């Protein structure tokens, strides 16, 4: 019998309790012994809830109980999650988390501490909810140099972009609709500005490079500037606009960014719609593999945390090596990133001006949106593109091609 | 330093040598020590090949060498692969295989032997080539009851169906084209009759149920009867025809089958085209997750074998529990499987006859193919459907809806 504690009885934390109870048979079969939730840490009480007698308000009860071998940290945020996780690991208790913010900020350090104390820091649920992505990267793609990761890792923005595409709606009204349906939060900034996606690509880039990528260093553009007109151009091209989180090994270093991209049908990400997530991992031997599913949801995310608990119990007293050091990864500058761009320009701007700066474009879309046209550039470094773009009169916007 | 042997220097076997040499850095980092191919077993010699001095013709050289800790079985077929694998495991050497036929036939037995000798029988490459699917099922989805698996697991048939759809071509000419391009074998039976897919779903059903599903017991229909007209009806419905390998937990037992299905856009399998594979795993907590990529290819498949080698080296002397027993799983009869069907009928058959047998259909497609029409039935048990279908005059064919 393994006894565990759950820190934070919110959506994911209560899901963890539910998954362990509902799937006790399969969890104990796979763990090799029964798994029981002994404590739930929360500031609140939950009278009437089946766990009411297991609620504690003081983390030290958990940290000082030698019976507790695994702690699920489902609180979110940096503090007190960081301090609690660190102390649990220092006490030799494995920590399984869904907290992407903490993993992005302190993952390598917490893995190191886990190693020093012969326990584990696992974080499958921090990216892609219930979709297995961290464990396949660590435990399956072990003969691969991963050279690129491109993912749709935020369900809220993908839902909004999908709705805008299906209904020809504007961003603002679609966001409101998503908020009313509970797919977007009242304060949607972390999603729509790309900060949530940035944390996830920071984690995946860390596993890809084996080094630390600070999420604040990642160039990030959200979807707030995407308009109905952008969607119309994408449709005209037979493409979809997706908020991609990307990380690519280049000769200049790791090129990591979050931004909206035009995605063509040849990419498996084209068809990832609604609240679904899809993460394409490209290896030097494997080529592309995609991991797809609902990237959030109470039970799916909780299932990933409990999957981590199963492994933590199986490997009690033994650290599982995860190659992710605190050493900073070398990042390529945005200036060096190469992309083709779709550029929207006012009709006043003669196409000769475009041709003079960018060369004769192969794709020009006219008369789709009133008062403007658009053209596709060749692939070029961002610095070079920006110079030309600034020199062109009448520009309305630009969007990268994947 | 771990020394390994490769049995069979064909496509996958030579790929294993190549992956280990090219990615020695990452392989040895992940394995915890360097991995070296000491022997290659083949009936042939390979003069001029870098491995020429390592070729042996007698498997006993490998079996009797205590330095060899892991054997890669990339020979294919039942014998002598079965005997060699068994002897290797009995000698305490882990076996990593790409041989789906052998895994489907003898997987549970070889896992048991591995357990008895504190070593491992790993088979990630037996399904989906380089796509991680076996390991995620065993090591990540450990808090899930997997209730259904539906996959496109054969690239050749998916290529043919995709080409038929894109080019409006007939089966025979498309098969010839696929053979000329090397996407289908000269003797294509195992692919087009669904036997390859059947082996793979036998393996996945075994992991899903924890019991043995004999591939010969699985109802299997290939794609040879799929015509240009079927594809036209699918297009009219906004669907694609896919050869699906499916396994589903039902109250009657496990419903396992391989057959062409109409797949609508709401399924992530709809967009899996060309030689790509996609496997949707549905768990009771997770919902659906899909694993997608190229299901074959020398280096991708070899990479999966080497990934197994890495784990075998990491866990030397320790058996990794895989719950797949020799106990036969209870299979549901085909009669009890429930599906909706698209039925094609000659124009001579009055629609009243259809309505009398099947009720008024919600979908009827007329004037798409000369001399016939088609209608969609409600979902019903196969036995019930077959009775009605046989009673209807002028039927031309039927295809299941996913």
Share of chain A above pLDDT 90, in %: 99
Dist. CA A13–CA A23, nearest whole Å: 15
Closest in A20, A140, A271 to B136, CB measured: A140
Asked if B292 lies within 8 A of A291 by C-beta distance, the reply is: yes
* Fold match, B137-294 / B337-401: no
User: pLDDT by residue (tens digit) across A135-182?
Assistant: 999 999 999 999 999 999 999 999 999 999 999 999 999 999 999 998
User: Is B34 touching A (CB cutoff 8 A)?
Assistant: no
Q: Which residues of A touch B283 (CB under 8 A)?
A: 130, 303
In what helix (H) or strand (E) does residue B276 lie, and over which residues does it extend? strand B276-283
User: pLDDT by residue (tens digit) across A84-135?
Assistant: 999 999 999 999 999 999 999 999 999 999 999 999 999 999 999 999 999 9
If phi over 0 gives left and psi between -120 and 50 gives alpha, with beta otherwise, what is residue B216? alpha
Q: Give the closest-approach CA distance of B356 to chain A in angstroms.
A: 39
Contact A250, A391 (CB under 8 A): no
What residues have CB less than 8 Å from B72, skipping those under 6 apart? B4, B5, B6, B7, B13, B16, B95, B96, B97, B305, B309
What residues have CB less than 8 Å from B92, skipping those under 6 apart? B117, B118, B119
Residue A345 has a pLDDT of 98
Residue A185 has a pLDDT of 93
If phi over 0 gives left and psi between -120 and 50 gives alpha, with beta otherwise, what is residue A48? left
What mean pLDDT do residues A39-64 have? 97
Contact A26, B142 (CB under 8 A): yes
User: Is B287 touching A (CB cutoff 8 A)?
Assistant: yes
Residue B3 has a pLDDT of 98
Q: Which residues of B touch A285 (CB under 8 A)?
A: 19, 22-23, 130, 299-300, 302-303
Closest in A276, A292, A300 to B292, CB measured: A292
A253-263 and A219-220 beta bridge pairing: parallel
Q: Which residues of A touch B292 (CB under 8 A)?
A: 268, 289-292
User: Is B264 touching A (CB cutoff 8 A)?
Assistant: no
User: Is B270 touching A (CB cutoff 8 A)?
Assistant: yes
Enter the CATH code of domain A137-294: 3.30.360.10
- Name the token pair of B23: 């990615």
User: Which chain A residue has its CA at the smallest distance from B306's CA?
Assistant: A143
Q: Which residues of A touch B27 (CB under 8 A)?
A: 142-143
Q: Is A242 noted as a catalytic residue in this protein?
A: no
User: Is A197 touching B (CB cutoff 8 A)?
Assistant: no
Residue B174 has a pLDDT of 96
Q: pLDDT by residue for chain B (402 residues), tens digit each?
A: 999 999 999 999 999 999 999 999 999 999 999 999 999 999 999 999 999 999 999 999 999 999 999 999 999 999 999 999 999 999 999 999 999 999 999 999 999 999 999 999 999 999 999 999 999 999 999 999 999 999 999 999 999 999 999 999 999 999 999 999 988 999 999 999 999 999 999 999 999 999 999 999 999 999 999 999 999 999 999 999 999 999 999 999 999 999 999 999 999 999 999 999 999 999 999 999 999 999 889 999 999 999 999 999 999 999 999 999 999 999 999 999 999 999 999 999 999 999 999 999 999 999 999 999 999 999 999 999 999 999 999 999 999 999
Asked if B306 lies within 8 A of A142 by C-beta distance, the reply is: yes
- Name the token pair of B356: 């009398």
- Name the token pair of B15: 């790929």
Tokens 């297991």 found at? A54
Residue A304 has a pLDDT of 98
User: Is B136 touching A (CB cutoff 8 A)?
Assistant: yes
Residue B71 has a pLDDT of 98
Residue A386 has a pLDDT of 98
User: pLDDT by residue (tens digit) across A2-16?
Assistant: 999 999 999 999 999
Superfamily of domain B2-130+298-314: NAD(P)-binding Rossmann-like Domain (3.40.50.720)
User: Is B139 touching A (CB cutoff 8 A)?
Assistant: yes
Indicate whether this model's pTM tops 0.95: yes
Q: Which residues of B touch A125 (CB under 8 A)?
A: none
- Domain boundaries along the sequence of chain A: 2-130+298-314, 137-294, 337-401
Share of chain B above pLDDT 70, in %: 100
- Residues B1/B4/B10/B12 CA torsion (nearest 10 deg): -70
Q: Which residues of B touch A284 (CB under 8 A)?
A: 22-23
What residues have CB less than 8 Å from B212, skipping those under 6 apart? B108, B206, B324, B325, B326, B327, B328, B329
User: Is A325 touching B (CB cutoff 8 A)?
Assistant: no
Closest in A142, A286, A311 to B130, CB measured: A286
CATH pick for A337-401 out of 3.40.50.800, 2.60.40.420, 2.60.40.1930, 3.30.70.260? 3.30.70.260
User: pLDDT by residue (tens digit) across A177-202?
Assistant: 999 998 899 999 999 999 999 999 99
User: Which chain B residue has its CA at the smallest distance from A321's CA?
Assistant: B30
Q: What is the ipTM of this complex?
A: 0.96
């Amino acid at each position: 019998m393994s006894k565990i504690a759950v820190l934070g009885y919110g959506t994911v934390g209560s899901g963890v309790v539910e998954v362990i109870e509902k799937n006790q048979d399969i969890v104990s079969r796979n763990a090799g012994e029964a798994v029981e939730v002994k404590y739930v840490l929360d500031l609140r009480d939950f009278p009437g809830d089946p766990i009411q007698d297991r609620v504690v308000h003081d983390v030290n009860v958990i940290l000082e109980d030698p019976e507790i071998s695994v702690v699920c940290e489902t609180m979110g945020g940096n503090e007190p999650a960081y301090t609690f996780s660190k102390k649990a690991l220092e006490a030799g208790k494995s920590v399984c988390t869904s907290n992407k913010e903490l993993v992005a900020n302190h993952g390598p350090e917490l893995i190191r501490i886990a190693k020093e104390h012969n326990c584990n820091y696992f974080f499958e649920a921090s990216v892609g909810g219930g979709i297995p992505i961290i464990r396949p990267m660590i435990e399956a793609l072990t003969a691969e140099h991963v050279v690129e990761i491109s993912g749709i890792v935020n369900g809220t923005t993908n839902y909004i972009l999908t709705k805008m595409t299906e209904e020809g709606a504007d961003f603002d009204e679609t966001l409101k609709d998503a908020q009313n349906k509970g797919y977007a939060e009242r304060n949607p900034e972390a999603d729509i500005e790309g900060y949530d996606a940035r944390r996830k690509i920071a984690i995946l880039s860390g596993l890809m490079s084996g080094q630390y990528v600070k999420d604040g260093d990642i160039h990030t553009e959200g979807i707030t500037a995407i308009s109905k007109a952008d969607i119309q151009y994408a449709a005209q091209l037979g493409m979809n606009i997706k908020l991609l989180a990307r990380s690519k090994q280049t000769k200049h270093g790791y090129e990591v960014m979050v931004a909206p991209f035009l995605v063509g049908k040849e990419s498996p990400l084209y068809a990832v719609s609604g609240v679904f997530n899809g993460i394409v991992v490209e290896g030097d031997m494997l080529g592309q593999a995609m991991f797809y599913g609902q990237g959030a949801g109470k039970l799916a995310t909780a299932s990933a945390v409990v999957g981590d608990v199963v492994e933590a119990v199986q490997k009690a007293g033994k650290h599982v090596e995860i190659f992710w050091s605190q050493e900073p990864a070398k990042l390529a500058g945005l200036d060096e990133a190469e992309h083709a761009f779709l550029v929207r320009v006012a009709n006043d701007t003669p196409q000769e001006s475009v041709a003079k700066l960018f060369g004769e474009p192969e794709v020009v879309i006219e008369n789709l949106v009133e008062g403007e046209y658009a053209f596709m550039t060749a692939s070029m470094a961002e610095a070079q593109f920006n110079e030309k773009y600034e020199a062109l009169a009448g520009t309305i916007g630009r969007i990268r091609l994947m």
